[in-house]
Amino acid sequence: MSETLVINELYLSIQGESTFAGLPCIFIRLTACNLRCSYCDTAYAFTEGKKWPLSAVLAEVRRLAAPFEIQIPKSDSTAPSVAPFRRLPLVELTGGEPLLQANSLPLMKSLCDDEFSVLVETSGAIDISSVDPRVHRIMDLKCPSSGEAERNRWENLQHLRSADQIKFVIGTQEDYEWARARIANYNLASLCPILFSWVMLLQPHQQYQSLRKIPAGQTPISRLELVEKTIADALPVRFQLQMHKFIWPPDQRGV
């Protein structure tokens, strides 16, 4: 393949979020993003990166995955499948915003052809309809405190399937009320699993000047408050923390 992608980092770790949390995962972090969310913890990926041929990306994924080959036995075709993946490790494209680079699409197709379970983390501001249907799309709906709520592409909802996931990143009371209303108004629970992710405060060196400011007048929400509200309102959501930030330092890269 002669096509290339600009990649910020490529590494093996564990999946820290989503319904796949805790599983081994190869992360392909692509460079560039068209949003500047107030809480972004990977702003270094806006500009840092190197060109990789797609063939080299595939080769590196296969190399990292090789030790897992003998650990997943072929399933009995007569038995019901209980695992949400075809083989380990998972492979996730993230960013930045991975869908900004057109060659992310053929890469995901090739990874699916290799029988990897592929995830893509996308902001929800870009059309997701061209993503290979075998890919699990984990799509944000940007809440008010992100400063980017006006960029949500609501047309994407019609393309979501049960294998996809919707994520709300919640940092304020206003975010919670906004998310609760969208879940009801769009009947989101009928589409796919819904994730509530609490905002962890950025370290001083992570607070890039280009990030949006939290709109004035918003009230922070704690993890406890978010969980208690979710339970009190009987919302059909999965609360999550970024697991990797509790295993490693919260600002450590490559994990």
pLDDT at 86: 66
pLDDT at 81: 42
State both tokens at 179: 């998310």
Instruction: Give the separation between CA 119 and CA 82, rounded to whole angstroms.
Output: 18
pLDDT by residue, tens only, the chain of 255 residues: 459 999 999 999 999 999 999 999 999 999 999 999 999 999 999 999 999 999 999 999 999 999 998 655 555 544 444 445 568 999 999 999 999 999 999 999 999 999 999 999 999 999 999 999 999 999 999 999 999 999 999 999 999 999 999 999 999 999 999 999 999 999 999 999 999 999 987 777 778 888 999 999 999 999 999 999 999 999 999 999 988 888 888 888 888
pLDDT at 84: 54
Instruction: Give the separation between CA 138 and CA 131, rounded to whole angstroms.
Output: 12
pLDDT at 203: 73
pTM > 0.85: yes or no:
yes
Instruction: Give the separation between CA 213 and CA 166, rounded to whole angstroms.
Output: 24
Instruction: Give the separation between CA 246 and CA 197, rounded to whole angstroms.
Output: 14
pLDDT at 119: 98
pLDDT at 79: 43
Cis peptide before 124 (omega within 30 of 0): no
pLDDT at 70: 67
pLDDT at 85: 58
Residue 245: partners with Cβ closer than 8 Å, 6 or more residues away:
16, 200
pLDDT in tens, 185-238: 999 999 999 999 999 877 777 788 889 999 999 999 999 999 999 999 999 999
Instruction: Give the separation between CA 54 and CA 102, rounded to whole angstroms.
Output: 12
